[in-house]
Structure 1
Amino acid sequence: MIDYFFSQYALYSTFDIFLEITAVVFGLFSVWYAKKDNILVFPTGIVSTLIYVYLLWKWSLLGDMMINGYYFVMSIYGWYHWTRKNGEVAEFPIEMTTQKEKIQALVIFILTIVFVVEVYHFFDKFTNWFSYIDTLLTGIFFVGMWLMAKRKVENWIFWIIGDIISIPLYFIKGFTFTSFQYIVFTIIAIYGYLEWKKICNNTPNQELKKL
């Protein structure tokens, strides 16, 4: 059983295995803090994404690498966005997305996929089916991170979809630790959605903010 899950690591350097485990640990902390609406989601996420940018470049997974590079940039933006206050009240509390933001999310999704396809063609990386799934995941996760940085409840829906797709994908790619990470991510994301939805429903005037 152990050989089935971890035999591929015999070909990896000890340093890279250590980095992947470290990235997984910080990634789990980040998602947990996101569920709790805790600003530590961003510093822990930054550590995880920086490590994954390096590893994914080595693994030639360009879409995943761009996702993590984008996470890094959006973590800085989100860190700033979440700290903005109007007096003692958070200027941007947890909310549902507006119709305008749904259109913006769709545009981000489409533009992201177009961009990633061009990158894969440029580097001639469309060599297997992983690349096509990778392209789809990039679009899903780009939107999810954008919505999370804006503190929108629906961000969790994109994380759940992307995490479920990522579980078998990373296992087949041979990155077992990362695959296990996405199993935990999925569970936390489900609870995160329920928790944020409850907070949002208990906030006055949410229906007016959707307009």
Structure 2
Amino acid sequence: MFDYLFAQYNEYPIHEVYLELTAVFFGLWSVWCAKKDHIWVFPTGLISTSIYAYLLWQWSLLGDSMINVYYFIMSIYGWYHWTRKKDNIDEFPISTMNGKERIMAVIIFVLTVVFVVIVYLYFNKFASWYSYLDTILTAIFFVGMWLMAKRKIQNWIFWIVGDLLSIPLYLAKGYTFTSFQYIIFTIIAVYGYLEWKKILNSSQNLELHQ
């Protein structure tokens, strides 16, 4: 079992192993901060996503590489969005999606699938089931990151689904540390949803009694 999970690392450049472990560390830290609704979700995420954007391109997971470039950009946007205050109160607190945002989420999903398919076809990378799953995952995570940057509670639903699908993908590709990371991501995402739900309910009850 140990050889199945880790033997492939004997063939990897040592710097890629260290980079993957560093990205895993900052990725877990970032998701934990997201669970706590803490602004450090973004600077830690910037480190993790920049490393993974490079590694995933090296590993021919083009969709996931583009996800991390997108994460990097959206982390900058989210960092700005979360810090905006009005009269010392968060201008954009945790909330639920409205009708327009649901439509926008569908549009982002569809456009992302189309874009990633074009990229895979251009580079002639549709060689296995990895590529097809990677295409769907890219769309799921694009929507999830957009919702998180906007502080919408539904972002956790997309993270949970995407994380669960990522576990077998990275395990099958031989990136065991990253696969283990997604197991932990899934657990944190479930607790993140529950914690954000509690915060949202508290704020709604407070508004009702004002």
Bin of the TM-score, shorter chain as denominator length: over 0.9
Q: State the match for 2:118 in structure 1.
A: 118
Matched residue pairs, number?
Answer: 208
The structure-2 alpha-carbon separation of the partners of 1:173 and 1:206, relative to structure 1 and needing over 3 Å to count, comes to farther
Residue type at the aligned position of 1:84: R
How far does residue 4 in structure 1 lie from its aligned partner after superposition?
Answer: 1.8
- Paired with 2:180 and 2:51, the residues of 1 have a C-alpha distance of 17
Unaligned stretches of 5+ in structure 2? none
- Equivalent position SS for 2:67: helix
Structure 1 residue ranges (4+ consecutive) displaced by more than 4 angstroms after TM superposition? 205-208
Give aligned-pair identity as a percent.
68
- Equivalent position SS for 1:177: helix
Q: State the match for 2:168 in structure 1.
A: 168
Q: State the match for 1:44 in structure 2.
A: 44
Q: State the match for 2:61 in structure 1.
A: 61
Residue type at the aligned position of 1:190: V
1:104-151 deviation digits (Å, cap 9, x = unpaired): 101100010011001111111111110000000000000000000000
How far does residue 14 in structure 1 lie from its aligned partner after superposition?
Answer: 1.1
| TM-score of the aligned structures, taking structure 1 as reference length | 0.96
- Paired with 1:43 and 1:135, the residues of 2 have a C-alpha distance of 26
- Paired with 1:23 and 1:55, the residues of 2 have a C-alpha distance of 10
Q: CA RMSD in A?
A: 1.4
- Equivalent position SS for 2:124: coil
How far does residue 206 in structure 1 lie from its aligned partner after superposition?
Answer: 10
How far does residue 57 in structure 1 lie from its aligned partner after superposition?
Answer: 1.2
Given that residues 78 and 149 in structure 1 are in contact (C-alpha distance below 8 angstroms), is that contact kept between their aligned partners in structure 2? yes
- Equivalent position SS for 1:116: helix
Given that residues 95 and 206 in structure 1 are in contact (C-alpha distance below 8 angstroms), is that contact kept between their aligned partners in structure 2? no
| TM-score of the aligned structures, taking structure 2 as reference length | 0.96
Residue type at the aligned position of 2:95: E
Residue type at the aligned position of 1:109: F
Residue type at the aligned position of 1:98: N
Residue type at the aligned position of 1:162: G
- Paired with 2:108 and 2:2, the residues of 1 have a C-alpha distance of 40
How far does residue 204 in structure 1 lie from its aligned partner after superposition?
Answer: 2.7
Residue type at the aligned position of 1:131: S
